């Protein structure tokens, strides 16, 4: 992605965050963190790399 695209994306996220209360941000961050943690736990339990390939012995 180009710097311009990142700047545009930053603005989109800033617009979203400007419309959310601090408590709402905290709830959303917690939900995202838990979703990432669960997906990583499942991936590790199934012994898969992030690209979907199996672990090597």
Helices (H) and strands (E) in the chain, counts: 2, 0
14/43 Cα distance (integer angstroms): 31
CB-based burial, 16-41: b 16+ in 10 Å, e otherwise: eeeeeeeeeeeeeeeeeeeeeeeeee
Residue 10's pLDDT is 94
pLDDT digits (tens, 9 = 90+) for 9-51: 999 999 998 999 999 999 999 999 999 999 999 988 899 888 9
pLDDT of residue 56: 84
Asked if 49 and 55 count as a contact pair (C-beta separation under 8 A), the reply is yes
Q: Is the pTM of this model over 0.85?
A: no
Q: Is the pLDDT of residue 1 over 70?
A: no
Read off the pLDDT band of 5 (50, 70, 90).
Answer: very high
Contacting residues for 9 by C-beta, under 8 A, at least 6 apart: 1
């Amino acid at each position: 992605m180009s710097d311009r695209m990142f700047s545009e994306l930053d603005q989109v996220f800033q617009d979203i965050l400007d419309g959310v209360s601090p408590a709402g941000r905290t709830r959303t961050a917690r939900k995202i963190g838990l979703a990432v943690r669960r997906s990583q736990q499942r991936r590790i339990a199934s012994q898969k790399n992030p690209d979907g390939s199996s672990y090597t012995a």
